[in-house]
Each structure stands twice: as structure tokens, then as C-alpha cells.
Amino acid sequence: LYIVDFADTSIVITEPYFTFSSIQESMNEILFEEYQFQSVLRINAGSLSAHRYFHENNAELCCIVVDSGFSSTHIVPHCRGRKMKEGICRINVGGKLLTNHLKEIISYRQLHVMDETYVINQVKEDVCYVSQDFYKDMETAQLKGEDNTVMREYVLPDFSSIKKGFCKPREEMNFTGKYKTGEQILRLTNERFAVPEMLFHPSDIGIQEMGIPEALVNSINNMPEEMQPHFYKNIVLTGGNALFPGYRDRVYKEVRALAPVEYQVSVALPQNPVCYPWEGGKLLAENPDFEEMVVTREDYEENGHYVCEEKFDI
Amino acid sequence: MAEKKTTVRSQDPNQRRVLDSATRQRRLTRQLEALEKDNFQDDPHASLPQLVKRLPQFDESNESGKRRKKTRGDHFKQRFRKNFQALLEEEDLSVSEGPNYLTACAEPSKFPQRHFCAVCGFPSNYTCVSCGARYCCVRCLGTHHETRCLKWTV
């Protein structure tokens, strides 16, 4: 069905921000010389998200994209379709760090899971959430028995009868005494919200960097003054970590507290934060300007890496 | 009371080893680096019997694919003998203007750091004298001394 003849196709591929020139050159070589694509567009994922956002909100001039993914979180302001390099801020906290941290604390407190990255990743996605009031949730998590609304029990997979781990619903939880059945259970209280809290306060774990709301405000403050209210009005959250329940409300609350009172703050969370840049890429490929943005194979064979360096704004 | 646990205070102050701040910092850096690792490993559950037998897929275009395959793997290994650290340092030394990977990193937070108990994860108020780990109550201190305090050297 999907047999693609590379020599006739164009490809849009995303790259991280500020990759080294040696990596960019080898990307060019792989795409043009080994796969022999007809034309190539290498672009940052945030630019595709911004394109998609501007497509929906035609009136807006500026937006700021928060892309929180596996390796790290990037905060990138965009104005009139171009990213603003001076405002790019990178927080070295991503899904990888959150899962590794969760593995460590579970291994210390309950069960040795240091090898089970995939299982704990599933636990993180099923059970963790972003709290709106950190200290209040901490107090609730310390209560015993029924009053502790934060605690959840997670049944680990044993790959014979239980193929995939799941969280037990509250009615079946057993607060006193031990379980008779042979299933392995993880009891999670404060880890549920302390782990995603690292996105907002990396200093909790010792990483001396600003969290997402602070870095957002910092990045906007580095922009020219007349654009700042426009950035506050158009904050877009993308990336896998945006799927945590409560993420958008918490970002809004913190940014509202840090932003000047006369500016309006509005945070947008798309339906599918993970595929949002891809949708942007799809729209871009249908755009009439697309032909001017790509580098064709003939171009590359004539001029080499130089033409890619000039055209691609990475 | 079945058994009497030895309390921490019964340790002779002269016998307790105290780490200085440089060692504590080194420990912290070690822990943070461990958090960044990529977990490239074989699936620990790969040896378990497959529950659903998957039919082998016969691919007719296998031969043409093999003919086109060029061994580029070695070529790239020759080019990229430098690892990520070395590339980063090279970037640092280069004199190019404008923002780059290193300047884009977020600055330290303006808010004070919050501390959490190393044992249970709740907010902590106290610090272990020997190694600098945080704890919230005497019970957690006991657990910490039994399991982690100074148990390995950096």
C-alpha cells in the first residue's frame, strides 16, 4: 500500500534546536545521497507548531511554543512565522528524566525496577498528574486510610495473566492488611505529583535551572516590549509531557501570577499535543510557499551543504 | 517492644565521618548524571514465551532492498569518533556570534530550592550531619542510616 519511491518524494523532517553543524551535514548526506529524496525540508518542530497555530488564529502575530518532550523542554518565541533565536530557552528536564527519577524512587522505597524502563514509563503515564496546589496535596498524601485521596495502587504486569499494568480503581483498594492474591502492587502517594513537579521546579531535585513558567516569563522579558503582550496572549503547549492531567491549568496559574497584571494571559493546549507539529507539517506541505522553502536534490548536488545552511533556519 | 533499635545519637561524634561540601557536590553531580542516561538495553522480558504467534511475513522485495543497501555505518563511525561531550566543548570554544546550544540553556531559578526527604519524599526540614541528605522525621533518619548513609564512596 504505502510503497514510496524516494526519488520522487519530498520529506519534511524535524530536528532539535541548535544541533551541531557536523550533525546537520550528515543529515543532508543521508537524505540526499543515501535515500535520494527529491526535496528536503529540515525544520524545528516548534516552527511547525507555530505554523499550525497561526493557521487557526489568523489575526495573531506572535506566539510562544513550549515543547516539552523526551530529552528536554524548549521554549521558543515566534513572530510573523520566524522563530526568535534570542528568546529560545532550554530546560534540561524531559520525559526521560521524569521516568528515570521515578524508577529510582520506586527502587529505593518499594521494589527494584531499575531495569524496567518501559513498565515505569507506563506507570508514569497512567498515574502521574500535575497538582494545582502542591503543599495541600502533600498534606493530603500524608493522611492515613480513606482520607488519603491521593494514594493509588498500581498493579504491575507479570506477562502471563496480566499483560499490561493498570491502576486499581479506588473502590477495590485495600487500605488495611495485605493482599492475598499474587499480584505485585505499587503504592504511590506523593510520587504521583512530585515527579511532574520537576517540570515546574527542577531545583527540587538539584538541577539549578528555571522551571517552565519562570523560563516562559524570562524568555518573554528578553523580547522587545511592544511584542510582550502578544506573547502572553498566545502560549501554546506541545510535546508528550503536555498530556499530564492538570498541566495546562497549572502553567496558566503560574504564568498569571508572574506576568504583569495589565497583560492578558492565555494558554492553549491542543487536542493532540504530540501530533500538533506533524499537523503543522501537513499544512505546510499543502502551502503554496512550500516549494521555495525546500532544497531540491539538484540544488544540493550543485552547491553542497552551503545551500542547506542558508535555507534551513535551524 | 520486641527489640530496641540503636539510636543515631548513641554514635560517638568522633566516630561519625562527615563529608565536606566538595564531596557532597560531587555526589549530587553523579546522581544527576545518572538521571540523564538513555537506558539502551535489551528488553528484560524478551525471553518470555510469546502469547500470540505472529505469522512470518514473506517479503518479495527483499532481494532488491539488499542490493541497494550501502554500508554507511562504518563511514559514520569514522567521522564521529568524538562523542557528545567533545562536540559540546568544541561549540563552546568556537567564536561564532549569536545564541547557540549552550547559551540557550535556562538560568538558575530565582526562587529558593525546596528540599524533600530522601526516604519518603515529603517536605523535609533536617539534614543528615554525615552526608547531607535531607530527612523529615527521626524514623526516616534511622532508615537512611541503615540503608544509604555513607554506604558507597564517591
Cα distances from A279 to residues A56, A76, A275, in angstroms, run 12, 18, 6
What per-residue confidence (pLDDT) applies to A4? 81
Q: How confident is the model at residue B76 (pLDDT cuts 50, 70, 90)?
A: low
Q: Is B104 on the interface with A (CB under 8 A)?
A: yes
Q: How far is B118 from chain A, CA to nearest CA, in Å?
A: 9
Q: Is B31 on the interface with A (CB under 8 A)?
A: yes
Taking residues A32-40, what's their average pLDDT?
Answer: 87
Is residue A57 within 8 A of residue A234, CB to CB? The reply is: yes
Q: How confident is the model at residue B15 (pLDDT cuts 50, 70, 90)?
A: low
Please judge whether B35 and A115 are an interchain contact, meaning their C-beta atoms are less than 8 angstroms apart.
Answer: no
Out of B43, B107, B114, closest to residue A204 by CB = B114
What is the DSSP code (8-state) at residue A37?
-
What per-residue confidence (pLDDT) applies to B63? 40
The yes-or-no verdict on residue A165 having pLDDT over 50 is yes
Model's pTM, two decimal places?
0.84
Q: Per mean pLDDT, which range of A161-165, A276-280, A308-312, B67-71 is the poorest? A: B67-71
Please judge whether A109 and B121 are an interchain contact, meaning their C-beta atoms are less than 8 angstroms apart.
Answer: yes
Is residue A134 within 8 A of residue B114, CB to CB? The reply is: no
Q: How far does CA A233 lie from the centroid of its chain?
A: 20
Q: How far is B19 from chain A, CA to nearest CA, in Å?
A: 18
Beta-carbon contacts below 8 Å between A and B: 116
3-state secondary structure of A154: strand
Q: How far is A168 from chain B, CA to nearest CA, in Å?
A: 22
Please judge whether A211 and B76 are an interchain contact, meaning their C-beta atoms are less than 8 angstroms apart.
Answer: no
Q: Considering only CB atoms, which chain A residues are within 8 Å of B107?
A: 209-210, 218
Q: How confident is the model at residue B52 (pLDDT cuts 50, 70, 90)?
A: very low
Distance of alpha carbon A244 from alpha carbon A125, whole angstroms: 7
All three cell numbers of A254, joined, read: 503560574
Q: Considering only CB atoms, which chain B residues are within 8 Å of A27?
A: none
Q: How confident is the model at residue B53 (pLDDT cuts 50, 70, 90)?
A: very low
Q: How confident is the model at residue A249 (pLDDT cuts 50, 70, 90)?
A: very high
The yes-or-no verdict on residue A202 having pLDDT over 80 is yes
What per-residue confidence (pLDDT) applies to B61? 39
Instruction: Please count the CA atoms within 13 angstroms of the CA of A13 that sit on its side-chain side.
Output: 15
Cα distances from B148 to residues A84, A109, B119, B153, in angstroms, run 47, 12, 10, 11
Q: Is B76 on the interface with A (CB under 8 A)?
A: yes
Please judge whether B31 and A206 are an interchain contact, meaning their C-beta atoms are less than 8 angstroms apart.
Answer: yes
Q: Considering only CB atoms, which chain A residues are within 8 Å of B108?
A: 203, 208-210
Q: How confident is the model at residue B1 (pLDDT cuts 50, 70, 90)?
A: very low
The percentage of chain A sitting over the pLDDT mark of 70, rounded to a whole number, equals 95
Out of A26, A85, A163, closest to residue B99 by CB = A85
What per-residue confidence (pLDDT) applies to A130? 93
The yes-or-no verdict on residue A66 having pLDDT over 90 is yes
As a whole number, the mean pLDDT across chain B is 71
Q: How confident is the model at residue A185 (pLDDT cuts 50, 70, 90)?
A: confident
Q: For an interface test with B, give the residue of A6, A72, A90, A111 to mutate (most B CBs within 10 A).
A: A90
